[in-house]
Amino acid sequence: MVGSSLTRFTLLTIVLATWPVLQSCAADNDALKHVTLPPGFGIEVYADVPNARSLALGSDGTVFVANRRGSSVYAVVPNEDGSTEVLEILTGLDMPNGIAWYAGDLYVAENTRITRYPDIEANLRSMPDADVIVDDLPAKRHHGWRYIAFSPSGKLHISIGGPCNVCEEDGFATIERMNADGTEREVVAYGVRNSVGLAWHPETGELWFTDNGRDMLGDNLPPDELNRAPAAGLHFGFPFCHGGDIADPEFGELRDCDEFTPPAQKLGPHVAAIGLRFYTGTEFPTDYHGQIFIAEHGSWNRSERIGYRVSLVRIDENRAVSYEVFADGWLQGNTVLGRPVDLLVLDDGSLLISDDHADVLYRVFYKGLD
């Protein structure tokens, strides 16, 4: 049986035994020599930030950067001459992957808690004491790096990943929301294995999110997912059904796929789709306006790697109509030059991409056709 613990262990052992060591290239930013973009676009390094993952933008243009492997939060401050200054503003945290800016305050999500730092951009060099918003998040660390974001209505959302490859356990595999002070906490989506990207449609205000599919079903199953939640309380299938129509070999007999909300767009299998952003700027050509960019961190549970790129899902009348590659080249043969994680639209309309492998932020801009 594919789902047996012995089979899963054997497959994992084979994959890891044949997997080359990731090669870091932060020193010379070698990825820029290989990244390909559509005609008219350019890319440059915006800042060097260790293990750069989740991104948030302050009202003064400060880019806040969190990480998963480390314990710090950074602020990237733009200078008038176009350069940037990187400040390590918080240290000693526990997996501070989730980060959000709201009404002047910085919110940081660790494994078991969410804290708030008031009036953050006025206090970058003298950090205020943290207000604890929530301190009872599940302590399990498998998929325990949090991702947070604020909705247009001011609700703080957080993903609570399943503590496993595939399992059924109360209190996990959900997306929750709450007020900015932590009150009125509730589940807004069920059956979400591990979402590390939340965004809201700029016109309808509906929640869209990525979800990473389970492992150990082979190279091409299941797909990662881009999901749309037009209402609260929907169930997206995990652990019973994957990709909208693939019954799980262990849990599929318990529920039928027809009971659940299918993905708005199936993504590549094991691409590790993480951060996503609707493009709300004006610098890019108009056919990119309102479209979804997705950072694909890259596969590990596959004999041939896939992902390590930024993809584009085109939306028409609030429906996903296509899925294509936007930025590629971080994977050269079997050598990894970078792993995109999160995305951020700057005030000038350019697009930031965090890379926790090369330890940098890239800036993608539109320079026009020659």
- pLDDT tens by residue, 242-263: 999 999 999 999 999 999 999 9
Q: What is the pTM of this model?
A: 0.91
The tens digit of pLDDT for each residue in 106-161 reads 999 999 999 999 999 999 999 989 999 999 999 998 998 999 999 999 999 999 99
Say which residue the tokens 């389970």 belong to.
Answer: 214
The total domain count for the chain is 1
Residue 363 exposure: Cα atoms within 13 Å on the Cβ side: 20
CB 173 within 8 A of CB 153: no
Question: For residue range 46-105, what is the model confidence (pLDDT) as tens digits?
Answer: 999 999 999 999 999 999 999 999 999 999 999 989 899 999 999 999 999 999 999 999
> For position 310, which CATH number holds?
2.120.10.30
Burial annotation 333-362 (CB, 10 A radius, 16+ → b, else e): eeebbbbbbbbbbbeebbbbbbbbbbbbbb
- Domain holding 101, by residue range, is 5-366
pLDDT of residue 144: 83
- Mean pLDDT, the chain, rounded, equals 91
Start-to-end C-alpha separation, the chain: 57
Dig out the tokens for 93 from the structure: 């945290």
